[in-house]
């Protein structure tokens, strides 16, 4: 990857995207990935970043083999009463089976399905309660793989 780099002694850092302006003095570093597995094969991941100043975390959805970033990157801010979660659909397969979302403690999540339908999913204790969808919290699985 860096075959022409004359300065290999410099620590390689992933540049922080400028959009992550969470507080007065952002010090955002890459924390860890959470891999999304189907039948023990990784099909994507959620990259987790954290600000050392305000302790907020940011997540980016990465679909394996797809370089373009998703719409969540344009609005990475998360409110204090929300947590990063992944919704898993029992109706879909492959990359359409999961999606990064922000979960409140209770209420309704307006969820856009793979067929671009917006459905209401009930949230209870930061978790989706639905016959066809489940969810998990990203920060509970740092450095791990989650089988969906």
Residue 53 binding Zn ion, by CB under 5 A: yes
> What beta strand segments (E) does 1-148 contain?
28-38, 41-51, 57-63, 82-89, 98-104, 106-112, 118-124, 127-129, 133-137, 145-147
Residue 23 binding Zn ion, by CB under 5 A: yes
Q: How far is the CB of 41 from Zn ion (least distance, A)?
A: 35
Q: How far is the CB of 76 from Zn ion (least distance, A)?
A: 12
Q: How far is the CB of 54 from Zn ion (least distance, A)?
A: 3
Q: Are 146 and 45 in contact (CB under 8 A)?
A: no
Rounded Cα–Cα distance for residues 51 and 24 (Å): 11
φ and ψ at 30, to 5 degrees? -70, 130
Residue 50 binding Zn ion, by CB under 5 A: no
Handedness of CA 55, 61, 66, 68 (dihedral sign): negative
Please state the separation of Cα 53 from the chain's center in Å. 21
Residue 76 binding Zn ion, by CB under 5 A: no
Nearer to Zn ion among residue 33 and residue 76 (C-beta) = 76
Instruction: With contacts defined by CB under 5 A, name the span among 19-27, 42-50, 79-87, 130-138 that binds Zn ion.
Output: 19-27
Residue 78 binding Zn ion, by CB under 5 A: no
Rounded Cα–Cα distance for residues 101 and 86 (Å): 6
Residue 22 binding Zn ion, by CB under 5 A: yes
Candidates 43, 46, 51, 100: give the one binding Zn ion (CB under 5 A). 51
Residue 26 binding Zn ion, by CB under 5 A: yes
Q: Where on the chain is the footprint of Zn ion (CB under 5 A)?
A: 22-23, 26, 51, 53-54
């Amino acid at each position: 990857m860096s075959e022409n780099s004359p300065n290999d002694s410099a620590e390689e850092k992933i540049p922080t995207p400028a959009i992550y302006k969470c507080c007065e003095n952002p010090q955002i570093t890459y924390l860890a990935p959470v891999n999304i597995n189907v039948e023990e094969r990784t099909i994507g991941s959620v990259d987790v970043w954290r600000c050392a100043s305000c302790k907020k975390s940011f997540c980016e959805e990465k679909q394996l083999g797809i370089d373009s970033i998703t719409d969540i990157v344009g609005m990475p801010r998360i409110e204090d009463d929300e947590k990063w979660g992944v919704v898993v659909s029992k109706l879909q397969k492959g990359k359409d089976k999961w999606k990064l979302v922000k979960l409140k403690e209770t209420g309704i999540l307006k969820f856009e399905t793979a067929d671009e339908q917006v459905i209401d999913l009930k949230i209870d204790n930061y978790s989706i309660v639905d016959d066809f969808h489940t969810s998990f919290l990203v920060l509970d699985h740092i450095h791990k793989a989650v089988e969906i």
